[in-house]
Amino acid sequence: MSIKSIHIHVTGIVQGVGFRPFVYGLAVRLDLRGWVRNTSAGVDIEVQGQKSNVEAFVQSLANEVPPLAKIDSVVVKDSQPDNKYLTFDIRPSTALEGAFQPISPDVALCADCEREMLDPNDRRYLYPFINCTNCGPRFTIIKDLPYDRPFTTMADFPMCDACRAEYENPLDRRFHAQPTACPDCGPFVQLRYSSSTSPSVSNIDLRLSAILKTRQLLREGKIIAVKGLGGFHLACDASNEKAVAELRRRKGRAGKPFALMFADLGSVRKYCEVNEDEAALLTGYEKPIVLLNRLDGARIAPSVAPRMDTLGAMLPYTPLHHLLFNRRDPILAAQPVPPVLVMTSGNFSEEPIAIKNEDALERLEPLADAFLLHNRDIHIRCDDSVVRVVSQKSKVKDSPTFDLQPSTLYLRRSRAYAPYPVSLPFDLKPTLAVGGELKNTFCLTRDRYAFLSQHVGDMENAEVFESFEQSVEHLSRLFRVEPQIIAHDMHPGYFTTSYAERAKSNAQRFAVQHHHAHIASCMADNKLEDRKLIGLSFDGTGYGTDGAIWGGEVLLASYADFERVAHLEYLPLPGGDSATRSPWRIAVGYARSLGLDVANLPFLESIELQAIGIVNQQVEKKLNAPLTSSMGRLFDAISSLIGIRNQVTYEAQAAIEMEVLAKKFIGEANPYPFEIEDGIIRVGEMFERVIRDVKSNLSAGLIGARFHQTVSAMAVEAGVKVREKTKINEVALSGGVWQNQVLLELTREKLLRENFVVYTHQQTPANDGGLALGQAVIANFQ
**Which residues make up the interface to Fe ion (CB under 5 A)?**
539, 768
Cα–Cα distance for residue pair 544/126, rounded to 1 Å: 56
How far apart CA 365 and CA 345 sit, in angstroms, is 14
Q: How far is the CB of 419 from Zn ion (least distance, A)?
A: 21
Q: How far is the CB of 37 from Fe ion (least distance, A)?
A: 44
Q: Give the shortest CB-159-to-Zn ion separation in angstroms.
A: 6
Cβ of residue 177: shortest distance to Zn ion, in angstroms? 8
Closer by beta carbon to Zn ion, 176 or else 516: 176
- Say if CB 704 and CB 665 are below 8 A apart: yes
DSSP one-letter string for 407-449: EEEEEE--TTTTTPPEEEEEEEEEEEE---SSSB--EEEEEEE
Smaller CB separation from Zn ion, 85 or 188? 188
> Would you count residue 422 as binding Zn ion (CB under 5 A)?
no
Residue 163 touches which member of Zn ion, Fe ion, none, C-beta under 5-8 Å by kind: Zn ion
- Options 156, 184, 469, 668; binder of Zn ion; rule CB under 5 A: 184
| Least Å from the CB of residue 542 to Fe ion | 5
**C-beta separation of 646 from 584 below 8 A:** yes
Which are the contacts of 306, defined by CB distance < 8 A and separation ≥ 6?
A: 255, 257
Instruction: Rank residues 539 and 569 by Cβ distance to Fe ion and give the closer one.
Output: 539
CB of 552: closest distance to Fe ion in angstroms? Answer: 12
Structure-derived torsion over alpha carbons of residues 691, 254, 218, 351, reported in degrees to the nearest 10: 130
- C-alpha distances (whole Å) from 127 to each of 134, 207, 326, 554 are 17, 9, 13, 55
Among Zn ion, Fe ion, none, partner that 265 touches (CB below 5 to 8 angstroms by kind) = none
3-state SS string for 622-645: CCCCCEECCHHHHHHHHHHHCCCC
Closest C-alpha among 449, 515, 495, 518 to residue 764: 518
Does 132 participate in binding Zn ion (rule CB under 5 A)?
A: yes
H or E stretch covering 117: helix 111-117
Position among 110, 260, 300, 428 found at the interface with Zn ion (CB under 5 A): 110
Cβ proximity to Fe ion: between 262 and 543 the closer is: 543
| Residue span binding Zn ion (CB under 5 A) among the ranges 113-121, 476-484, 627-635, 721-729 | 113-121
Contacts of 54 by beta carbon, 8 Å cutoff, 6+ apart:
4, 5, 6, 30, 32, 47, 48
Nearer to Zn ion, 132 or 691 (CB): 132
Residue 768: contacted member of Zn ion, Fe ion, none (CB under 5 to 8 Å, by partner type): Fe ion
Number of residues near Zn ion (by CB under 5 A): 10
Residue 686 near Zn ion by CB under 5 A: no
Q: Which amino acid is located at 520 in the chain?
A: A
Q: Give the binding range for Zn ion (CB under 5 A) out of 121-129, 161-169, 217-225, 491-499.
A: 161-169
Contact call for residue 163 and Zn ion (CB under 5 A): yes
**Does residue 113 belong to the site contacting Zn ion (CB under 5 A)?**
yes
Residue 760: alpha-carbon gap to chain centroid: 16
118 binds Zn ion, rule: CB under 5 A: no
Is 472 near Zn ion (CB under 5 A)? no
Q: Taking the mean position of all CA atoms in its chain, how far away is CA 189?
A: 28
Residue 539 interacting partner from Zn ion, Fe ion, none (CB closer than 5 to 8 Å by kind): Fe ion
Query: Which of Zn ion, Fe ion, none does 185 bind, CB closer than 5 to 8 A by kind?
Result: Zn ion
State the helix-helix crossing angle for 495-502 and 462-478, rounded to 10 degrees: 50
Q: How far is CA 48 from CA 2, 78, 194, 227, 532, in A?
A: 11, 10, 62, 48, 50
The nearest distance, CB 171 to Zn ion, in angstroms, is: 16
Alpha-carbon span 448 to 442, nearest angstrom? 16
| Exposed e or buried b per residue across 167-182, where buried means at least 16 C-beta atoms within 10 angstroms of its C-beta | beebebbbbbbbbbbb
Q: Is 320 helix (H, G, I), strand (E, B) or coil?
A: helix
**Residue 106 contact, options Fe ion, Zn ion, none, Cβ 5-8 Å cut-off depending on partner type:** none
Tell me which residue of 656, 631, 642, 633 sits closest to 703, measured CA to CA.
642
Sign (positive or negative) of CA dihedral 410, 413, 415, 418: positive
Prior bond to 419 cis, omega within 30? yes
Strand partners, 556: 534, 563
Closest residue to Fe ion: CB criterion: 539
Q: How far is the CB of 38 from Zn ion (least distance, A)?
A: 20
Q: Is 134 in the site for Zn ion (CB under 5 A)?
A: yes
587 within 8 A of 603, measured Cβ to Cβ? yes
| Of residues 88 and 543, the one with the C-beta less far from Fe ion | 543
Pick one of Zn ion, Fe ion, none as the site partner of residue 182 (Cβ within 5 to 8 A by kind): Zn ion
110-118, 189-197, 569-577, 687-695 -> range binding Zn ion (CB under 5 A): 110-118
- In the list Fe ion, Zn ion, none, the entry touching 134 (Cβ below 5 to 8 angstroms by class) is Zn ion
Site string for Zn ion, 141-160 (x = CB under 5 A): -------------------x
Q: Which of 135, 244, 459, 690 binds Zn ion (CB under 5 A)?
A: 135
Q: Which stretch binds Zn ion (CB under 5 A): 65-73, 133-141, 609-617, 689-697?
A: 133-141
182 forms part of the interface with Zn ion (CB under 5 A): yes
Interface mask toward Zn ion for 185-224; x: CB under 5 A:
x---------------------------------------
Q: For residues 225 and 409, which CB has a smaller minimum distance to Fe ion in the complex? A: 409
The footprint of Zn ion (CB under 5 A) covers 110, 113, 132, 134-135, 160, 163, 182, 184-185
